[in-house]
Amino acid sequence: MSYIGKTPTSVPLTSSDITDGIITSAKIANGGVETVDIADANVTAAKLASGTVQNQSAFKNIIINGDMSLAQRGTSSSSNTTGGYVTCDRWLADIDTQGTWTLSQSTDVPTGQGFANSFKYDCTTADASPAAGDKINLQQRLEGQMLQYLKKGTSSAESTTLSFWVKSNKTGTYICELQDLDNTRQISKSYTISSANTWEKKTITFAGDTTGAFGNDNARSLDVIWYLGAGSNLTSGTLNTSWGSRTNANRAVGQVNLADSTSNDWYIAGVQLETGTSASDFEFLPHDVNLGRCQRYYQKTFEYSQAPVDNAQKFEYHFIEPYSGGSISGLISYFSVEMRVQPTVTIYTTGQSANGTGKVTLYNGGWGNATASVQGGSTTKCVHFDTALSGTKLAQFNYEASSELWL
């Protein structure tokens, strides 16, 4: 008779009878192992091959749009000195007076990995001597209620592994950070770009933090940060490579200055943050699933490929049949998916009439317009516009709605 890894010393099998990492999905027939067949507490994480059992989240990748494939706002933004959410969905460029940058969704990607896009930082105005408070970084900010399975703040806190592809003409030391906003804690790790202008895969493991739980709500709890430059306020101490109270001087020690030349650029692709101490293959999602996850934070009435602008040729229509009194005041537009919080809404003119920004185009035998404002009836599921519609047969408009994690 053959056995799994070792000849058993007891019946039923116990943990000591099974070689670590030998049980894979392929070794288990459907329905082949039932609860009664396993002694309590004998199947441990060490006995399972990496990836055999997934975490409690619907997606193993905590990062949203990690393949940089979605860019609802547009594919490029130039002359950035402050950054913001400007191109690839869910990615925040944080620039604090250190250089000027073009930020873009690039098609330069690592060969043979299945990626179509990367996020690119391109320096257009250099800053070789940053002030103490200067910084440049790329972030993804995450809600606490989506991180509860990490069990942060308990003795069972999960380790996480961050993997990504990176490329730059500027070699040297770069810093990645996890920042816990709920408990003012952080941990930083360094990685090295060894070869100029060459895609390299990096893997960084962060221990679980047994201090301070994430809030179980829709507020900002965790920032995942890639530094590209920083002044002395963030670099004058000792790099904090273990979880601890946030001390700014210890957050980005050793970071190169990507802003020191207009020849410098930096690309990142295939970003994945997952539980465990090793990196698995990147989790590709269908376009509609990825888009729906992003639309919780930002969506628009424009077609996907159309960046929000005035006078776009395609827009949202509302056909209106006035009731007997002949007057309706207000329009309701329902969001594609429920948003994180009631969003900030910006209205765009459609160009059918000589209307200005923030106006809705109306038709009642001829084109006209009316000023619209967002009303208190708006929710995370819809936006309510207050506008004069007396006798109107048709209304058309465009808007964008944002509930990004700013604070």
CA dihedral of 168, 170, 176, 181, whole degrees rounded to 10: -90
pLDDT at site 324: 46
* Model pTM score: 0.84
- Tokens in use for 140? 């993804």
pLDDT tens digits for 162-199?
A: 999 999 999 999 999 999 999 999 999 999 999 999 99
50 within 8 A of 161, measured Cβ to Cβ: no
Sketch the domain layout of the chain as residue ranges: 1-53, 76-295, 316-402
Residue 210, pLDDT above cutoff 90: yes
Between 381 and 376, residue with greater pLDDT? 381
pLDDT at site 198: 98
Mean per-residue pLDDT, 21-25? 64
* Burial 58-91, CB ≥16 within 10 A → b, else e: ebbbbbbbbbbbbbbbbeebeebeebebbbbbbb
Task: Classify the phi-psi angles of 66: left when phi > 0, otherwise alpha if psi is within -120 to 50, otherwise beta.
Answer: alpha
CA distance 293 to 64: 7
Does the domain at residues 76-295 carry the CATH identifier 3.40.710.10?
no
Question: Coil, strand or helix: which one is 268?
Answer: strand
The mean pLDDT of the chain is 87
Q: Which of 151-165, 253-267, 278-292, 304-318 has the lowest mean pLDDT?
A: 304-318
Confidence of residue 348 (pLDDT cuts 50, 70, 90): confident
pLDDT at site 323: 46
Q: Which of 69-83, 238-252, 379-393 has the lowest mean pLDDT?
A: 379-393
Rg (CA), the chain: 26
Give the Cβ contact number of residue 158 at 10 Å. 20
pLDDT at site 9: 60
Residues 6+ apart with CB under 8 A from 44: 15
Helix, strand and coil content of the chain, in percent to the nearest 5, comes to 10, 35, 55
330 within 8 A of 386, measured Cβ to Cβ: yes
